[in-house]
Amino acid sequence: MASDDMPFLILTRAGFDDIVARIEQPGAVLLLNPGIASETELARLREAGATIHLLPAAIAAGPAPGLDGVLHAAGAGGAAWIEHAVATPGPVAPAVEPERLPEEQSRALHHRLVGTVGSLAGHALRRLGRFGQGGNPMLLPYLGFGNANKLWVKGRVLDEVDFREQTGQDSGWHNLVALYRRLESDQVSGARVVARFQDQVMETHTDRGGYFAFEIPSSAPLSGGWHEVELELPDSATRDRGVVRTVAQVSVPAASARFGIISDIDDTVLWTNVTNKLNMALMLARSNAHTRKPFKGVAAFYRALSAGASGQDENPMFYVSSSPWHLFGPLVDFLRVQGIPLGPLLLRELNMSQVLTLTSHGSHKLDKIEQILGYYPDMQFVLIGDSGEQDPEIYTEVVRRHPKAVRMIYIRNVNPDPARIDALDRLIAEVSATGAQLILAPDSVFAASHAAAEGLIHVDRLADVRSDKREDDKLLHSST
């Protein structure tokens, strides 16, 4: 049996022996539960030309009547083999109750599995096609931002998908189902979108990815807070329903704001293991906004920064990430559930075939930060990131271009490699020469203590950050 680059998700030793005996190794992509094969066996497979990915945690083999049929509906072009559980003697792990999709939706999904997403094809990140021929268009606005004179609004038009609310009791299978729905790319290109704000009426069309954006001038100076922009699809009316409409929320900084905060998300606010795209995707599939936790003390630290030295500054938050816009909903849910100050998210426009091979990470972030700074030329910013990828280099480049716009850089130190530390020391020296500071922080308590000393947060907030970190420690220990 030839592999034709078809990925194989193998969950048991029996499945491993069966597949290895029947496939041609060159070009084969194998996703394996840990512990079902020896290092020697894996090395032989790699030498034979196979690509091996060990899952970060074991996935239980069990029947899945809902999406199980969908996942096994591998047709021509982008099929995937997924091990199906069979009854065997001996102890069997408890089965996880799968989510049962409505029959009509299951049939629709059955016909929509096309394409492959790297080594996770056929698993959580399958590229989905159109939602049938009769799908309803859905307007999905993202959180926008603006100043006293103009607003920026972005969104997407999709075929409608029924998202249900997730809870802390959801199983890993339920989370996987939710991820399928979130990662669906049933974009509607060329759709006419109309925006209304005050006396302004603007029109545009969605691009090939289904995205649209507006920059809306204000006829009168805007006050700080959240403003609403009405959006509609004027050509969406049918005999059964009226025109599709929704409202976009757009944030304008308060007059009391002393500085803005621009934060990375991946491995800064929450652990995503973004440097390993397979592990990142599996983490998202196995958890949700209720069960996924931020780094210890981050929520209280960000609340303190937003409140500022007076406790009432209302400093605006912005989140810039290389995650795709497909994850906007889960990320907003995460911020809300975890009590982290909400703010506009600037994510990436990606096809799902690109999610596991992100490129131009630095260029994307730098462009989005430039866009933010362009809206607030008189505001200084605190930049927060981690040392795992390019945040220090990106933020240093921001300082080079806008030396007066950056007040402080906090980098969570996640890479102990001496060569990386040497590189960071050089960046620290370069940033310091401009009058700004780049601080390597081992945790949120350290960063908060420095911020209090610099007058960025009120000293009384330190106790909250320490308490938040202790609570997170307790949760971590209770779950291990």
CATH assignment of the domain containing 235: 2.60.40
Q: What was the pLDDT predicted at 288?
A: 45
Q: Per-residue pLDDT for 263 more than 80?
A: yes
φ/ψ (deg, to 5) at 130: -65, 150
Residues 246 and 266 in one domain: no
Residues 73 and 175 in one domain: no
In a domain, 129, yes or no: no
Q: What was the pLDDT predicted at 338?
A: 86
**In contact, 17 and 39? CB cutoff 8 Å:** no
Q: What was the pLDDT predicted at 306?
A: 98
Q: What was the pLDDT predicted at 238?
A: 83
Q: 113: domain range?
A: 7-120
pLDDT digits (tens, 9 = 90+) for 18-65: 777 776 666 677 878 888 898 888 888 888 888 887 775 666 655 443
In a domain, 125, yes or no: no
Q: Which of 215, 234, 252 is the last residue of a domain?
A: 252
Question: pLDDT: is 428 or 280 the higher one?
Answer: 428
Q: What was the pLDDT predicted at 353?
A: 45
Q: Which of 93, 120, 147 is the last residue of a domain?
A: 120
Tell me the C-alpha distance between 83 and 268, whole Å. 35
In a domain, 2, yes or no: no
In a domain, 315, yes or no: yes
Residues 182 and 40 in one domain: no
Q: What was the pLDDT predicted at 358?
A: 44
Residues 303 and 447 in one domain: yes
Helices (H), 287-438: 298-307, 328-337, 361-375, 391-401, 418-432
Percent of the chain scored above 70 by pLDDT? 65
Residues 116 and 164 in one domain: no
Tell me the C-alpha distance between 150 and 375, whole Å. 9
Q: What is the largest CA-CA distance in the chain?
A: 74
Question: pLDDT: is 180 or 120 the higher one?
Answer: 180
Tell me the C-alpha distance between 28 and 48, whole Å. 9
H or E, element range at 159: strand 150-159
> What is the number of domains present in the chain?
3
Start-to-end C-alpha separation, the chain = 42
Percent of the chain scored above 90 by pLDDT? 44
In a domain, 66, yes or no: yes
**Mean pLDDT across the stretch 122-136?**
36
pLDDT digits (tens, 9 = 90+) for 145-187: 999 999 999 999 987 654 444 444 444 444 444 554 545 457 8
Q: What was the pLDDT predicted at 107?
A: 41
Residues 303 and 436 in one domain: yes
**Least confident segment among 11-20, 269-278, 306-315, 334-343:** 269-278
Question: pLDDT: is 366 or 470 the higher one?
Answer: 366
Q: What was the pLDDT predicted at 187?
A: 82
Question: pLDDT: is 357 or 333 the higher one?
Answer: 333
Reported confidence tier of residue 250, pLDDT bands at 50, 70, 90 = very high
Q: What was the pLDDT predicted at 295?
A: 66
**Least confident segment among 17-21, 321-325, 338-342, 384-388:** 17-21
**In contact, 180 and 69? CB cutoff 8 Å:** no
Tell me the C-alpha distance between 87 and 12, whole Å. 12
Reported confidence tier of residue 278, pLDDT bands at 50, 70, 90 = very low
Residues 190 and 235 in one domain: yes
CA distances from residue 226 to 57, 91, 304, 342, 416 in whole angstroms, order as listed? 41, 56, 20, 11, 41
Q: What was the pLDDT predicted at 172?
A: 44
Q: What was the pLDDT predicted at 431?
A: 97
CATH number of the domain that 450 lies in? 3.40.50
**Mean pLDDT across the stretch 225-237?**
95
Q: Per-residue pLDDT for 112 more than 50?
A: no
pTM for this predicted structure: 0.67
Tell me the C-alpha distance between 388 and 397, whole Å. 17
Residues 416 and 396 in one domain: yes
In a domain, 404, yes or no: yes
**In contact, 382 and 343? CB cutoff 8 Å:** no
Q: What was the pLDDT predicted at 379?
A: 98
Sign of CA dihedral 424, 427, 433, 438: negative
CA distances from residue 109 to 112, 115, 132, 263, 351 in whole angstroms, order as listed? 5, 13, 9, 36, 18
Tell me the C-alpha distance between 183 and 186, whole Å. 9
**In contact, 392 and 365? CB cutoff 8 Å:** no
The per-residue pLDDT of the chain, averaged, comes to 76
Residues 290 and 244 in one domain: no
In a domain, 448, yes or no: yes
In a domain, 132, yes or no: no
Reported confidence tier of residue 6, pLDDT bands at 50, 70, 90 = low
Reported confidence tier of residue 428, pLDDT bands at 50, 70, 90 = very high
pLDDT digits (tens, 9 = 90+) for 343-370: 999 998 865 444 444 444 558 899 999 9
Q: Which of 67, 89, 120 is the last residue of a domain?
A: 120
Q: What was the pLDDT predicted at 89?
A: 41
Structure tokens at 352: 């799902």
Residues 41 and 115 in one domain: yes
Question: pLDDT: is 9 or 231 the higher one?
Answer: 231
**Least confident segment among 124-133, 321-330, 371-380:** 124-133
Residues 329 and 464 in one domain: yes
**In contact, 250 and 215? CB cutoff 8 Å:** no
Residues 90 and 145 in one domain: no
